[in-house]
Amino acid sequence: MKITPQTIADVLLIEPKVFGDERGYFFESFRQDLFEAATGYPVNFIQDNESKSGKGVLRNLHFQRPPYAQSKLVRVIEGDVLDIAVDLRQGSPAFGQHASARLSGKNKHQLFIPRGFAHGFIVLSETATFVYKVDNVYAPEHDCGIYYADTSLGIDWQLPQQDIKTSEKDATLPTLAELTESTPEALFQYGSTLYD
């Protein structure tokens, strides 16, 4: 596999080795020993999730507060999405900045998003099937998010605003500044040990 740090170095683009012929293709979508050796991240993925969405659906910038913070390994089985990770580690040189990648069923790229980041994606194709691994259980009482159209984040979602479809809950999430002011304990500390 080829691993490339993104604009925020802790977010990693993973390109698996795909073996294809006239019958179709095969690839290892995850192998823990190779992943940990290549990335240095000691992860223990405990759950797989899958969603299917239509064009313009935006699954917002979500994260979970400690002790239920999650790392994610995300990919697309069919379709095309723009995937976004926002750095929420206070004290990080990249705090409030984002990394992005196009993930598709065709390119088979994956994005590793470590703990300390908010994550979201938007569907750019007619439909997309999105799958991801997480290393912590869903804990609704620790669930948080940031408003996707927060201008301070500088995210180009690559579709006109009128074509973006999001949930009522996601449309009312706070901006990063509002979250930082009202609930600073929801954010992470840069350099903290998130994998113990």
**Domain CATH code at residue 7:** 2.60.120.10
User: pTM for the whole thing?
Assistant: 0.92
**Rg, C-alpha atoms of the chain:** 16
- Percent of the chain scoring above 90 in pLDDT: 75
Residue 127 lies in a domain: yes
DSSP 190: T
Residue 195 lies in a domain: no
φ, ψ (nearest 5 deg) of residue 93: -60, -20
Active-site residue, selected from the candidate residues 98, 109, 119, 132: 132
Domain that holds residue 62: 2-189
Integer Cα distance of 16 and 1 in angstroms: 4
How many degrees, rounded to 5, is the angle at CA 169 between CA 7 and CA 156?
A: 30
Residues 130/83, Cβ–Cβ less than 8 Å: no
Active-site residue, selected from the candidate residues 62, 68, 142, 190: 62
Tens of pLDDT along 58-92?
999 999 998 999 999 999 999 999 999 999 999 99
How many structural domains comprise the chain? 1
Amino acid at 24: G
Tens of pLDDT along 121-161?
999 999 999 999 999 999 999 999 999 999 999 999 999 99
Residue 115 lies in a domain: yes
Q: Active-site residue 147, yes or no? A: no
Pair of tokens at residue 64: 């979970």
Mean pLDDT is lowest, of 31-45, 86-100, 103-117, for 31-45
Q: Active-site residue 142, yes or no? A: no
pLDDT at 193 over 70: no
